[in-house]
Amino acid sequence: MPRTAHRPIRWIIPVFLAPALLFYTLFFVYPAIDAFRISLYDWSGFGINAKFIGLKNFAEALGDQYVRLSLSNNLLIMVAGGALLFTLALYFAVVLTTPTVKGRGLLRVVLFFPYTINAVGIAFLWLFILNPQFGLLNGTLDDLGLDKLTQIWLGTRGLAMACIIWVIVWMVIGFYTILLQAGIENIPQDLRDAAMADGAEGATLFFYVTLPLLRDVLAVAVTYWIIDALQVFTIVYALTKGGPAKGTNTVSTYMYSVALPQDAPILRFGYGTAIAVMLFILVVVASAVYFRLIRREAVEF
Amino acid sequence: MTTLKQIAQSSGSVQSIQSEHWALRALKTLGRAVFYYVPSLVWLLIALVAVIWLVMSSFKTSREIFAGVWDFPKSFYLGGYIRALAQANMARYLLNTTMLAVVVVGVLDIIGAMASYVLTRYRFVLARPILLYFIAGMAIPGLLVVVPLYLLLAQLHLLDSLVGLGIVYIAVSLPFSVFVLTGFFRTIPSEIADAAVVDGASDFGVFWRVAFPLAMPGLVTISIFNFLGVWNEYLLALMLISSPDQTTLPLGLAALRVQQQMTGDWTSMFSGIVIAMIPSLIIFLLLQRRLTGGLTTGALKG
């Protein structure tokens, strides 16, 4: 809402800004800055034990094999999960924007509802579906006579990572589909009509008209995914707690298990926070680099 | 497959469309139907099967759960729900989470609207820097602040309390809320507010009587998102809450799982998941359009 003429003192400005600024600064910005200080300490969380050790936490993290393993799991989720996610999301976005397809409203609901319900609940639902003794998946395979295919789904690192990726994709696909759908709907219909008049249809229309014009929206969506994939916590922690043998940890779950271990009495707040700071820097750098790479003149309609 | 391909190639040739053989047209229609409907139906089936199995299992006894995945529950057994709600405290967690979400959403609506209004309506030097300062918070991951917040709340004696957790939720939700609300306030023509000023309304009066009501669609959007955010948040709650009477739903569900692992009470776990899902499912189904609409404005205008 643009501005009115200038008057001496507008009390409304400081009065209305103060509460939001106060909450936000004190309980979000200040802790975020404080994280950088805490990461320089050997600190178990209680004042007396804090010892300044400079960058030693960061040096330790760089040499920690579990940090590397966790990060490689994040990258696996980002790349393999991203390939699956965007193939499906693009497909569903095309279906949802095709006027002749029936039941699009229902499809939209089915795609999007997992995004809105409790992530812990979703993880536990899949934990039970994948349960080797009474789970839906093994049980159904048995009933179909395919008992050779039954697995201890979360028992080995490879399978467990595949399951984690599946559950994450299942949960977030609605969000990405709806972003891409909005992108397709924003492409002026006359552009598509013109292409169709020239004889383009189906795959040709998609790859030569829709996809190039969707580039900017796709870039935004991929940036969101990079940020999400590097920060995955809830699904992994609720499904596997990072196991078996710490093999499915992501950086977030590993950081949590280091800072507040459930099985050991030693809290490592300084070290855990150093890992969080490194992840934060990685997220900022990765999304900035990606955005730089794909940037070019925006397509104007 | 090869025939389909050959047919597709021949159909691309110069021969006129009218002379296409009826079999060819039928095949094309079939191909199109398979492409558009089969994967969508598979997805529908997965979701349907998962949810039906979940609800079915929540009415089975533990013995029935192990008997066969597709056996129908023999006597709609309610023990799981009773134990989840009473013994495992799910009723308490539901109440805690609902109260927390309502307060957090209400406070965010009011202080978020106040800040966003001032930032868009008045021209002053700091308006733009302050707006950027708020929006920059969208880039701060929760993981970065968990330990500092733990230490801060411990100092303020707000650790392990819903009040402390609520304050944190308000703080971390402000960037998104201000981002969306400033977008909405910008679309309200200034003439409306100016007319109220001419009619003698004070600065505050213009806000409460004119701008706030006009920003309702934006307020609804952020309310839904903030409500679901509080309802589903796990990492911060896990770090900042430890006692059962301050526990929120995601934490409570995780606690129920630990308890169920020790007692082998699978039924109450299935029931617990259903209980945790129902409220957000209802909100989603009621406000679906608004939710997805708000999501695209929020996510793409950045």
Interface contact flag, B172 A27, Cβ < 8 Å: yes
Q: Are residues B206 and B291 in the same domain?
A: yes
The residue of chain B with its CA nearest to that of A260 is B239
Give the mean model confidence (pLDDT) for residues A165-179.
95
Bridge partners for A41 per DSSP: A52
List the structure tokens of A238.
């609720």
Q: Which domain holds residue B215?
A: 84-300
CA-CA distance, A86 to A75, in Å (whole number)?
Answer: 16
- Locate the domains of chain A by residue range: 43-294
Determine the pLDDT at residue A5: 54
| Buried/exposed code over B183-196 (b: 16+ C-beta within 10 A; e: otherwise) | bbbeebeeeebbeb
pLDDT band at A58 (very low <50, low <70, confident <90, very high): very high
Q: Are residues B43 and B91 in the same domain?
A: no
Tell whether B152 and B263 lie within a shared domain. Answer: yes
The ipTM value here is: 0.88
The reply to whether B267 falls in a domain is yes
Who contacts A115 (Cβ-Cβ below 8 Å, separation ≥6)?
A171, A172, A173, A174, A175
Question: Could you tell me which chain B residue has the CA closest to the CA of A230?
Answer: B141
Partner residue opposite A4 with nearest CB, options B115, B194, B270: B194
Question: What integer pLDDT is reported at residue B1 of this predicted model?
Answer: 43
DSSP B247: -
Tens of pLDDT, residue by residue over A28-55, are 999 999 999 999 999 886 656 788 999 9
Q: Is residue B59 part of a domain?
A: no
The CATH label, of 3.10.129.10, 1.10.3720.10, 2.40.30.10, 3.40.50.300, for the domain at A43-294 is 1.10.3720.10
Q: In Å, how far is A158's CA from the nearest CA of chain B?
A: 23
Using a CB–CB cutoff of 8 Å, tell me whether A132 touches chain B. no
For residue B279, list chain A residues with Cβ-Cβ distance below 8 A: none
- A179–B44 CB contact, under 8 Å: no
> Residue A189: which residues within 8 A CB-CB, separation 6 or more?
none
Q: Which of B121, B134, B140 sits opposite A1 (nearest CB)?
A: B121
B133: its two tokens: 């300062």
Q: Is the pLDDT of residue A169 over 80?
A: yes
Same domain, B27 and B141: no
Q: Are residues B23 and B128 in the same domain?
A: no
Q: What pLDDT shows up at residue A79?
A: 97
B39 and B120 housed in the same domain: no
For an interface test with A, which of B146, B240, B282 has the most A Cβ atoms less than 10 Å from its Cβ? B146
pLDDT of B70: 84
Please tell me the predicted confidence (pLDDT) of residue A171.
Answer: 95
Q: pTM to 2 decimals?
A: 0.89
The answer to whether the CB atoms of B299 and A128 lie below 8 A apart is no
| pLDDT per position as a tens digit, A87-115 | 999 999 999 998 888 999 999 999 998 98
| Angstrom distance (rounded) from CA B141 to CA B292 | 23
Binary contact (B300, A182; C-beta < 8 A): yes
Is A16 in Cβ contact with B288 (below 8 Å)? no
> What's the pLDDT at A28?
97
Q: What pLDDT, on a 0 to 100 scale, did the predictor assign at position B286?
A: 86
Is the residue at B236 inside a domain?
yes
B130 and B46 co-located in one domain = no
B144, B282: one domain? yes
Residue B196's pLDDT is: 86
d(CA A177, CA A235): 20
The reply to whether B134 falls in a domain is yes
CATH, residue B202: 1.10.3720.10
Question: Residues of A with CB below 8 A from B142's CB?
Answer: 231, 233
Chain B residues within 8 A of A124 when measuring between CB atoms: 253, 257, 269, 273
Determine contact: A47 vs chain B, CB below 8 A: no
A218 at interface of B, judged by CB pairs closer than 8 A: no
Q: Contact A110/B65, CB-based, under 8 Å?
A: no
Stretches where chain B sits below pLDDT 50 are 1-3, 5, 7-8, 10-16, 302
- B254 contacts in chain A (CB < 8 Å): 120, 238
Please give the pLDDT value at position A297. Answer: 52
Q: What is the pLDDT of residue A48?
A: 63
* Pair (B38, B99) in one structural domain: no
A107 contacts B48 by C-beta, under 8 angstroms: no
**Contact criterion met (CB < 8 Å) for A21 and B57:** no
Q: Are A8 and B114 in contact (CB under 8 A)?
A: no
Report the pLDDT value the prediction gives residue B69, as an integer from 0 to 100: 83
What's the structural domain count of chain B?
A: 2
Contact between B118 and A12 using a beta-carbon 8 Å cutoff:
yes
